[in-house]
Amino acid sequence: MRTRNALSVLTACALTACALAAPLPSPAADEVSAGQVVDAIEAVFGVTPGERRNHTKGTCALGEFVGTQEAARYSRSALFSGDPVPVIARFSLSGGNPNAPDTARSARGMALEFKLPDGSVHHMTMLNAPMFGAAQPRTFLDLMVALKPDPATGKPDPDKVKAFRETHPDARALAEFVATHNPPVSFANSAYFGIHTFRFVDGSDRVTPVRWQFSPQDGEKRLGDDELKTAGPNFLEPALIERTASGPVRWDMLVSIGQPGDPENDPTVLWPADRETFKAGTLSITAAKPQKGAECEPINFDPLVMADGIAPTDDPILQFRSPAYAVSFSRRLGDK
């Protein structure tokens, strides 16, 4: 309880404005283990037995995805066959606090598990910001170390936070984005970004570097400054449940094609806005429900669970997420 009560503000800013709040010296060459990172997250937020260590607060949903012929030109993935693909989704808030307020200035997540016709699955794990807050795992670890509460005050040491900000420029873009963009009024009114560069692979093994986002057909809507004060701590889940009860919520999957020189292994750097973009499909969410006991709860949304036709890059953050998710998942199972 120490952590959650003392970190009511920090819960709102893991991977956000607080990401700028504090870098410790971070030699990029230093090896960082998945266990170290999960340990550090637990030191900041504490442990909620049986729950995810990060993005703890979440909502389950069900739906389907229908790909386009244009996407099939670039990728042989069954996602783009044109037939409906069942989807299990999870919407979430970043950080390890299960009681994080929905008005928190933090990243929102959308994780998808696509169930393909051959029995395989494909995962996409996204944030509602176009960039990530670290180019290397060391930056994320140093952020968590800087945010660890001082036992004497129950709050982070301001000097460590300041040091992090000054020594980790790769955290700056996400922090500035979150600080200048109010949270969404609903999960349904937010775009979600793949963050990383991926590779579409077609039937002839031709590879195309891509980045994607899911753009809401309901439009993007953010809380006004006055609404932030009155919205309450738990409006996102009931809003999504109510919205799906009135009809499907849809997002267009928009894919941008990379050009030579576009960074493929740094999720903190955006591609130029003029890159060719096409619609790869439509996601329809038809039902939402509390996560306890629901379909999304037991899923480890490892972003490297990928079916044929879409491949990862060597992005160090993308590659690191898989073992970090595995450690978190194993600890979650071990709590029971």
Known catalytic residues are 55
| DSSP per position, 186-223 | -GGG--EE--S-EEEE-TT--EEEEEEEEEETT---B-
Rounded to whole angstroms, how far apart are CA atoms 315 and 136? 9
Rounded (10°) CA dihedral 96, 99, 105, 108:
70
Q: CB neighbours of 50 closer than 8 A, spacing ≥ 6?
A: 332, 335, 336
| H or E stretch at 80 | none
Q: Treating both helix axes as pointing N-terminal to C-terminal, what angle do 34-45 and 316-334 enclose, rounded to 10 degrees? A: 60
DSSP, collapsed to helix, strand or coil, labels residue 72 as helix
Q: How far is CA 89 from the centre of its chain?
A: 12
Rounded to whole angstroms, how far apart are CA atoms 316 and 109? 20
| H or E stretch at 255 | strand 249-257
Burial of 172 (C-beta count, 10 Å sphere; 0-12/13-18/19+) = middle
210 beta partners: 198, 257
